[in-house]
Structure 1
Amino acid sequence: MTTARQSRINPTTATKLHPPTADTLIDEIQDAYEIAKDEFEIATESTDGGTIYAASDRDSARDALNDLCAIYYRYAAKPGEEDTGIMLRSGKYVSGSEMGEEVPGVDAVTAFKTEDVPQEVKDEVRRRVGQRIRELRNAVELLEERATEE
């Protein structure tokens, strides 16, 4: 399934034309962040309102968050880091060692390959957007917990 947030750029071609910079990567992450935040807001409203779409909206928020976390992980992971922030519908978290270029249930496609991003660029990406990613991840998880308690 192709989504609007998937890049049509071949990662190899993108790297040859323009080496990745923190600004370029953050722009890509920001696009995914805005989608995930919108989905979270929709899920929060439907959960608070007790609508029949609440569970589906929470699934959409989780899927968008997983896509965001996949992009962020590929562009900001430290060597040996295992926590990707991606949780499958089974409730299982995907570790870094399990995450290749494709993760079942995650549609994120990035413009650059992980190995083409220098560690200093990854560190800059982490420093500039990591906190926002963690805050949204925590908010989605709290919404999911609240829904299961009700």
Structure 2
Amino acid sequence: MLEFTPSRVTCRAGNVVKHAGGDVVVGQEAAPLTRHLRVHQDGGHTVLEFRGEIDIAAAAEIGPHLDALTGHPGCRIVIDLRPVEFFDCSGLRLLHRARHRVHVHGGRLALVCAHPLTLRILRITGLSRLLPPQPTLEAALGRPGAASGSH
């Protein structure tokens, strides 16, 4: 199935076909895996964007995808919590599991979080020491000149 707009075509697989100066460019657009998880690639990193309310039901949806994405040697993962509206102990469990799995496989895990209440939960539980939150995706990706720092 193809969807057409004046400047782009999207096929069922999520590939986006754009015209760039007469050339056709095919790229992968971020597609939601679940209602609470969107995954995309950025600079050699797999970015897992948690969305909405991360509670026990959301964790049950996200868990299998998180396990699949964090189970590869040398994986480079960023978990982005900026679109999260609610975050409880189920979300903390997901972060801890991701950190453990990435560490066991010799990978790298970074966290993006700027929401004051979520930052407070991370700090109170001590998870912010194990997985220091970065304020922006650019900082988590380690891009030069990106503002970084943990809260």
TM over 0.5: no
Look at both structures and tell me which one has the larger radius of gyration over its CA atoms.
Answer: 2
Structure with the largest fraction of helix:
1
TM-score (norm 2): 0.29
Structure with the largest fraction of strand:
2
Q: Between the two structures, name the one with larger relative contact order (CA 8 Å, sep ≥ 6).
A: 1
